[in-house]
Amino acid sequence: MNRMTILGIETSCDETAAAVVRGSAGGPADILSNIVFSQFDEHAPYGGVVPEIAARAHIERLDAIVGEALSVAGIALKDVDGVAATAGPGLIGGVIVGLMTAKGLAAAAGKPFVPINHLEGHALSVRLTEAVAFPYLLLLVSGGHCQLINVAGVGRYEVLGSTIDDAVGEAFDKTAKLLGLGFPGGPAVEAVAERGDPRRFLLPAPLKGRSNCDFSFSGLKTAVRRAAEQAGTLSPQDVSDLCASFQAAVSASLLDRTARAFDKFTARFADAPMQLVVAGGVAANQALRARFGELCEARGAALFVPPPRLCTDNGAMIAWAGLERLSQEGSEGGGERLDAPPRARWPLTELKAT
Amino acid sequence: MNILGLDTAHSACSAALLVDGKLAAHRFELMRVGHAERLMGQISEVLEGAGRKYSDLDRIACTIGPGTFTGTRIALSAARGLAIGLRIPVIGVTTFEALAAAMSGEGVRVAVFDAKRGELYLQAFAGDALAPLTAPEALTIKAAAQRINGLGRDDLTIGGTGAELLQSALAGKGVLSEASPVPEARFVAQLAVMRDAPSSPPSPLYLRPPDADLPPPTSLKFT
Amino acid sequence: MTTTPQRHLILEQICDSEAATATLAAALGTHLQVGDLVALRGDLGAGKTTLARALIRARLGHPDEAVPSPTFTLLQTYDDAAAPIAHFDLYRVEDPSELVEMGWDDALADAIALVEWPEHAGALLPARRIDVTLSFGDSEGTRRVTIERMGNWDGRLHEL
């Protein structure tokens, strides 16, 4: 299979990101550069003046990020085999900036452009760093995403469940806020929970027992609040116990939903080895990871968790999805893709295999 | 000088190519939505129509607003992407200038857009040289009328999507322009002929609504 | 010269269940038009998103419409022939200048805007709007809901 070099751009929410990835479909691949603005050395392209750029002003940042991605990768734009960019879902203003800049770059370089669904970027990202064959079950858990997906191939996704209200990351952040802990909430709650008794407060594991694979965490938020009120003035131990109980409830719910998804996976892919990929910022929670490890061991399943820098929004996963798609589709149809629309909403289930 | 002009800031999508400073090809399509889908197609059509390639371009001219939030970003982002790839500059042109350039005569050219919710985007210029008589502003209809009345001129031509609203508020003063009420890329390209290339690419022009006491979105000063 | 915007109480009610709040939300929704903004106020867990969800579902006529929390996405939009709906959550917004890049001005002009954590919009929150305030009642599941009209509504929304 031919190795390809793809420039990927991501601007659908908070992060302005670009990356260059080189490899062949199936992975793993070389990440030649992975630049995200929030971790970028802001001084370099602005000649030492630190700019105050409003959050999500992607059009101010993207040129410099793209330049840095190419420079760190040691290549020029003409050396890429394609340019990929998130075309949705997300904040439409940001999506437009990444999408149209990428179209301009591709047209100028005379290379194919590939529009990418942000969720597909997450779904395929594990293959960037590990040789994971299709099919696999993906649990995507972050501040903004909470989905269980059967990934059968590029463009072949079955959403088994998603959140009906709050995502997991959001539940952690709001619990942290309720209990007066710092930001970001996830690590704060996890740290404090280590010293806590997870059985002290009986918090409901939402939707546990339901036969579908959906998630719900807003009720848990209310339960934490009520438990905190009933406990009166909270000592540090009270807070630790509440966090531990909260984390245990989240775990129980996630595991229950995932275990049901395992059943659906095996029903669908009877001969395939069971593989679980847990991606998204919440996957960094070690206590959760340990629980997933236990579940996978009990079910004889392999567990994969991509590295944190590929779990938060980034350009490398977009470049990678672009590479996988371009490998399948070939570069005909490049002109048609230049008319790809920006989409605020773009359900994963609308994607097709090529 | 070969210049590609672009606009998607209002309810039209247009691209125009000047070859050696003269209009060689252009496309102009009215549309409320669909700019992001159509623009690149228009660009390749005007290049092909004039028998030119991307590598023949010396600069790109693009409107920066005011206009719709999504529209101002569509053409400008494409322009900036092309510019990086071709290593050429992007010249920013306001939608006010583009409208005024489409009008004719030595009198006052009032470029005015309907910003909805009883507000207008407004700027007035004098003659072919487009000498600005007012600053670019977002104003209530009443304040806009006061601004124009304050010029003390009776040779007004009014163009743009807010022209009729403004003319009513001026008690019928002024003549409605026959030019398109939305920008056209061929005028955008033309305006860029005599401009110096900036040292950094242009950003969208955001005019604050009246009474909003807010610092600009970015305090980075581009020279 | 600053004038204090007129404030008119439309309704204050104790809703003893989520269903009761949903009914109230649906009723409010029938009165809204493009260009209207509803500011949803209340503590964490008070039910702002739940109310917004009920209002959106009622307007769309889809009781099962997926209406996820916009806390992380900041904005969820809903197409509708009658009037698009822009559901903002400004919880993560640290400065009103961020609203520019979220298409705030256009959304307010072209859609019905529902805004959680409106305090974070600063001076960009329009003087003419509906304020819905949710607070906890005496028992689990009950909420006190206050609906007020701010600014000039030309006689609209006198009552639900």
pLDDT digits (tens, 9 = 90+) for A213-268: 999 999 998 899 999 988 889 999 999 999 999 999 999 999 999 999 999 999 99
Cβ pair A107, B54 in contact under 8 A: yes
Given CB atoms, is A91 within the 8 Å cutoff of chain B?
Answer: no
**Closest CB from C45, C69, C74 relative to A225:** C45
pLDDT on residue A39:
81
Could you tell me which chain A residue has the CA closest to the CA of B43? Answer: A107
Compute the radius of gyration of chain C from its Cα atoms.
15
Which residues from chain A sit within 8 angstroms of residue B39, using beta carbons?
Answer: 100, 103
- What average pLDDT does chain A have? 92
Helix residue ranges, H only, A269-307: 286-299
Helix (H, G, I), strand (E, B) or coil at B127: coil
pLDDT on residue A247:
95
Burial call B18-52: b when 16+ CB within 10 Å, e when fewer: beeeebbbbbbeeeeeebbbbbbbbbeebbeebeb
Is pLDDT above 90 for A40? Answer: no
Half-sphere exposure of B30 (CA within 13 A, CB side): 3
CB contact (8 A) between residue C103 and residue A92: yes
Chain A adjacent subunits, 3+ CB pairs under 8 A: B, C
Which tens digit of pLDDT belongs to each residue from B58-74?
999 999 999 999 999 99
CB contact (8 A) between residue C106 and residue B68: yes
Same fold, A4-125+310-350 and A133-305: yes
Please name the fold of domain A133-305: Nucleotidyltransferase; domain 5 (3.30.420)
d(CA A325, CA A329): 6
CB contact (8 A) between residue A77 and residue B85: yes
CB contact (8 A) between residue A165 and residue C103: no
Which tens digit of pLDDT belongs to each residue from A193-219?
999 999 999 998 888 888 899 999 999
Which residues from chain B sit within 8 angstroms of residue A80, using beta carbons?
Answer: none
User: Which of C144, C39, C24 is CA-nearest to residue C90?
Assistant: C39
CB contact (8 A) between residue A222 and residue C103: no
Shortest CA gap A15–chain B (Å): 17
pLDDT band of A142, cuts 50, 70, 90: confident
Better pLDDT: C109 or A40: C109
d(CA B158, CA B176): 5
Backbone angles phi, psi at A261, to 5 degrees: -65, -35
Which residues from chain C sit within 8 angstroms of residue B217, using beta carbons?
Answer: 97, 100-101
What pTM does this model have? Answer: 0.95
Which residues from chain C sit within 8 angstroms of residue A218, using beta carbons?
Answer: 45, 49-50, 69
Mutation target vs B (from A100, A105, A114; most B CBs, 10 A cutoff):
A100
Backbone angles phi, psi at A79, to 5 degrees: -85, -10
User: Which of B190, B204, B198 is CA-nearest to residue B99?
Assistant: B190
CB contact (8 A) between residue A97 and residue B77: yes
CB contact (8 A) between residue B85 and residue A340: no
The neighbouring-strand residues paired with C131 are: C39, C148
CB contact (8 A) between residue B54 and residue A100: no
ipTM of the prediction greater than 0.90, yes or no = yes
Could you tell me which chain A residue has the CA closest to the CA of B219? Answer: A52
Which residues from chain C sit within 8 angstroms of residue A58, using beta carbons?
Answer: 101
B142's tokens: 């009443």
Sheet architecture: strand order including A302-304: A156-162, A146-153, A136-141, A275-279, A302-304
The neighbouring-strand residues paired with A19 are: A8, A34
**Closest CB from A54, A104, A338 relative to B85:** A104
Backbone angles phi, psi at B105, to 5 degrees: 95, 165
CB contact (8 A) between residue A57 and residue B76: no
Given CB atoms, is C11 within the 8 Å cutoff of chain A?
Answer: no
pLDDT on residue B2:
98
Cβ pair A176, A246 in contact under 8 A: no
Which residues from chain C sit within 8 angstroms of residue B71, using beta carbons?
Answer: none
CB contact (8 A) between residue C105 and residue B209: yes
Note which residues in 289-308 of chain A have CB less than 8 A from chain C: none
d(CA A10, CA A317): 9
**Closest CB from A46, A101, A107 relative to B54:** A107
pLDDT on residue B223:
27
pLDDT on residue B219:
39
The average pLDDT across C126-152 equals 93
Is pLDDT above 80 for B145? Answer: yes
pLDDT band of B221, cuts 50, 70, 90: very low
Better pLDDT: A41 or C149: C149
CB contact (8 A) between residue A108 and residue B85: yes
C96's tokens: 């009103």
Count of residues making up chain A: 354
Q: Kindly list the domain boundaries of chain A, sorted by start residue.
A: 4-125+310-350, 133-305
pLDDT on residue C1:
47
Handedness of CA A323, A328, A330, A334 (dihedral sign): negative
The average pLDDT across B139-145 equals 97
Cβ pair A149, A349 in contact under 8 A: no
Whose tokens are 């040129």? That residue is A63
The average pLDDT across C118-132 equals 96
Is pLDDT above 50 for A47? Answer: no
Which residues from chain B sit within 8 angstroms of residue C77, using beta carbons?
Answer: none
pLDDT on residue B222:
31
Helix residue ranges, H only, C61-128: 104-110
User: Which of A57, A337, A24, A136 is CA-nearest to residue C100?
Assistant: A57
d(CA A296, CA C25): 44
Q: What is the DSSP string of A124-152?
A: HTHHHHS--PSPEEEEEESSS-EEEEEEE
The average pLDDT across C89-104 equals 94
pLDDT on residue C139:
85
The neighbouring-strand residues paired with B17 are: B4, B25
Better pLDDT: B20 or B217: B20
pLDDT on residue A51:
56
**Closest CB from C97, C106, C110 relative to B217:** C97
In percent, the amount of chain B with pLDDT more than 90 equals 91
Which tens digit of pLDDT belongs to each residue from A81-139?
999 999 999 999 999 999 999 999 999 999 999 999 999 999 999 999 999 999 999 99
Q: Write the class of the CATH domain A4-125+310-350.
A: alpha beta
Given CB atoms, is B211 within the 8 Å cutoff of chain C?
Answer: yes
CB contact (8 A) between residue C98 and residue A56: yes
CB contact (8 A) between residue A96 and residue B83: no
Which residues from chain B sit within 8 angstroms of residue A107, using beta carbons?
Answer: 40, 43-44, 54, 81-82, 85
Of A180-184, A259-263, B85-89, the one with minimum mean pLDDT is A180-184
**Closest CB from B36, B86, B201 relative to A63:** B201
Given CB atoms, is B215 within the 8 Å cutoff of chain C?
Answer: yes
Helix residue ranges, H only, A207-235: 218-231
